[in-house]
Amino acid sequence: MVAYKNLTMHGLALGRLSKLVAYKQSLVIGGVAMLDMNDDCPLIEAILNASKGISGLEAAAQGFCDEELRPFLLNTTLVGKKKHIAIAALIKKFIARNAEYRYFLTADIDGFGSLSSYIYVTEGFVQLRHVKTSIKGPNSILVVALEAKYQQLIAEGKLTIAVQFSQIIDEVKLAFSKETSFRGRLAHFIKIIRTHGRLNFAILEHVFTIYLEGFGNLFDFIHCGPYLIDFDLTEVTASTPRCVCTCN
């Protein structure tokens, strides 16, 4: 049991770290696709440099940049996150044409990171769009998902966990009845889950695997949240529940 908990804690820590890295990269993503006077940018340069001298890939990269990526950047009216989401979609479409093109995911974007990291950050942008809708209204997608998980636990005979889940649902509903703002609800929810995780680490295994319609799993939801509401990132990142031995 201790080994399982320590392994899970390690996984949670890595998850938090990857989200924190993605968040920091999102702060500098603006210049990645900003064209200069020569109609070049760090993103285009990264793709071309990665393929330089590689038979087959060099021509493919040049063609993609000249015929698709650069024209898109010159003509798009999209800005901010929407622009980067569209760019990533264009790149993924290009890479999907040939298995060998996956090599471009290793391309290093000056001052940012790999092309793979760029796509990962933009996927986070898409997820963030759905955070607000997931906690909106009296019967939010989040509450419905929690209640469905509770019913599943009852059906599986996991009554101890189900009791704690019921407490979580009651606390979330109470908090949401008093707080209607997006930021307030999200902050309350994160605190509730973190508190129950400290009381019983096993609850997190069931919480994090809940799937939210239009978003993804609750693990990502909880770790995307702080970046939207200026939550205490240090506290969230360091809030790994204590490992309590239950071997006896």
Q: What is the pLDDT of residues 18-77, one digit of tens each?
A: 454 455 555 568 889 999 999 999 999 999 999 999 988 999 999 999 999 999 999 999
Of residues 151, 92, 118, 131, the one with CA closest to residue 29: 118
Specify the pLDDT at position 48.
Answer: 97
Global pTM exceeds 0.75:
no
Question: Residue 217 — φ and ψ, nearest 5°?
Answer: -80, 160
Mean pLDDT of the chain: 80
Q: 245 is written with which tokens?
A: 């031995």
Residue 196 main-chain phi, psi, to 5 deg: -70, -30
CB atoms inside a 10 Å sphere around CB 74:
9
Residue 138 has pLDDT above 80, yes or no: no
The C-alpha atoms of residue 28 and residue 86 are separated, in whole angstroms, by 17
Is the pLDDT score of 200 beyond 90?
A: no
At 217 the pLDDT is 79
Q: Look at residue 232 in the predicted model and tell me its pLDDT.
A: 41
* pLDDT recorded at residue 12: 45
Give the tokens for residue 12. 């949670």
Give me the percent of the chain exceeding a pLDDT of 70: 77
- Quote the pLDDT of residue 214: 67
Say if CB 98 and CB 15 are below 8 A apart.
no
| pLDDT the model gives residue 171 | 95
Mean pLDDT on 117-126: 84
Q: How confident is the model at residue 196 (pLDDT cuts 50, 70, 90)?
A: very high
Per DSSP, 211 falls in state: E
- How far are the Cα atoms of 128, 134, 206, 217, 230 from residue 213, in angstroms, in the given order? 13, 8, 17, 9, 25
Cβ distance 31 to 111 under 8 Å? yes
pLDDT value, residue 27: 59
Structure-token pair, residue 173: 């509903």
8-state DSSP, 49 = H
**Greater pLDDT, 220 or 167:** 167
